[in-house]
Amino acid sequence: MIHLSDIDLSISELNYAINEHYAWANRMLHFSLLGGTPDETIIDASAHTLCCFSRWFSRFDTEPSRYPNLVDAIFHSHLKMHDCARELLVSIINKSVNEQLVQNYHAAQQSFINAIDIYKQSLITFRNMHDTLTGLPLRHLLFLDFIHLRAETDALWLLMLDIDKFKTINDTWGHNAGDDVLREVAATLEAGMRSGERIYRFGGEEFVVLFNNASEGGAMETARRIRIKLEQCPVLVEGTMLPVTVTGGLTRVQHQDSLHSALSQADSALYTGKNSGRNRCVMATSEGDMVQL
């Protein structure tokens, strides 16, 4: 699961690569105007594999991008830019430079910069879909992921979680302490997520988890595990270890369900859990029954 810090790191690494590219462009300009010996990142036939952006591309070998088409656009425009730069410099060395070669380089350079700008803006937009307090993705990303996952599988489950007696925490300890509790609860829940489980901050003291499980029994066990994980991790508030629990509502997502309808079913189950004692999970069945887990 991608965290806010991961996005910030991606933006930082991209900014570093951009700055290194500007340094490369300055070396290119220096040679064009003053002559000298161009380095391998400019003149070599494989220059696109030797410069800073080649190192930036290598990160996607182990961490696929959320926007692979945009990364591909940067890759191909980067390759074209290096080809045009090399062709231009060879013509300068051979004293055969012409206006078309200069225009080709400028056009390729601009295409490369445009591709970077589009990708960077996408990263910033993606970052803005995350909560600054907890670092978790917010509702808009929940909506996008729900549409994608519902189409991809018929074994999707939605679990809504609500911190028990959160208003009492705010009233007793203050809103700063309430923010601390939200951060710690989010961190604990996120740390407990397994492969294929995604958690979102839905609003206030509510969280939503999307996960796949082929069996009803397995889904019920997942909901219990997540609830118990938090129960076992009290939060330190002003020197006091404060027990914090959640109540959960679980529902299986049907192919025809919208996010709104799935949330409504889970919310009904959660409401049942609140009214029957809190610190428990309740499942809403397709028949409308409420089953305590």
226, part of any domain: yes
Give yes or no: 87 in active site. Answer: no
The answer to whether 260 touches 239, Cβ cutoff 8 Å, is: no
Quick one: 151 and 270 in the same domain?
Answer: yes
Any domain includes 132: no
Q: For residues 263-268, give the mean pLDDT.
A: 96
Using a pLDDT cut of 90, give the percent of the chain over it: 76
C-alpha closest to that of 74 among 23, 109, 107: 109
pLDDT at 257: 94
Residues 174 and 260 in one domain: yes
Query: Residue 6 has what pLDDT?
Result: 84
37: helix, coil or strand? coil
- 68 in any annotated domain: yes
Could you tell me if 184 and 115 lie in one domain?
A: no
Residue 135's pLDDT is what?
92
Over residues 252-265, mean pLDDT? 95
In a domain, residue 64? The reply is: yes
Asked whether the predicted pLDDT for residue 2 surpasses 80, the reply is no
What CATH number did the domain enclosing 187 receive? 3.30.70.270
Question: What pLDDT sits at residue 125?
Answer: 94
Q: How confident is the model at residue 106 (pLDDT cuts 50, 70, 90)?
A: very high
Q: Is the pLDDT of residue 1 over 80?
A: no
Burial zone of 22 (CB within 10 Å; 0-12 exposed, 13-18 middle, 19+ buried): exposed
Q: How far apart are CA 27 and CA 31, in angstroms?
A: 6
User: How many structural domains comprise the chain?
Assistant: 2
pLDDT of residue 5: 83
Lowest mean pLDDT among 48-52, 61-65, 96-100, 147-151: 61-65
Domain identity same for 145 and 121: no
- Low-confidence winner among 51-55, 101-105, 154-158, 268-272 (lowest mean pLDDT): 51-55
Domain membership flag for residue 100? yes
Same domain, 180 and 120: no
Contact between 273 and 164 (Cβ < 8 Å): no
Q: Which residue has the higher pLDDT, 84 or 35?
A: 84
Q: State the distance between the two ends of the chain, measured CA to CA, in whole angstroms.
A: 26
Q: What is the mean pLDDT of residues 47-63?
A: 85
Q: Are 166 and 30 within one domain?
A: no
Mean pLDDT for all residues in the chain: 93
Q: Averaged over 129-153, what is the pLDDT?
A: 94
**CATH code, domain with 19:** 1.20.120.30
Q: Evaluate if pTM is beyond 0.95.
A: no
* Catalytic, out of 99, 205, 206, 216: 205
- Pick from 179, 172, 165: which is nearest to 245 by CA? 165
Domain boundary among 100, 127, 154: 127
Residue 248, domain member (yes or no): yes
Q: Quick check: 99 pLDDT over 90?
A: yes
Residue 192 three-state SS: coil
Q: Is residue 148 located within the same domain as residue 285?
A: yes
Is 72 a domain residue?
yes
- In this structure, are residues 267 and 162 in contact, taking their beta carbons and an 8 Å threshold? no
Q: How many CB atoms lie within 10 A of CB 42?
A: 21
Locate the DSSP E strands across the chain. 156-163, 198-203, 206-212, 235-237, 240-242, 246-252, 281-284, 290-292
Q: Which of these three, 103, 127, 151, is where a domain ends? A: 127
**Judgement on whether residues 162 and 30 belong to the same structural domain of the protein:** no
Q: Same domain, yes or no, for 46 and 98?
A: yes
Domain extent for 71: 4-127
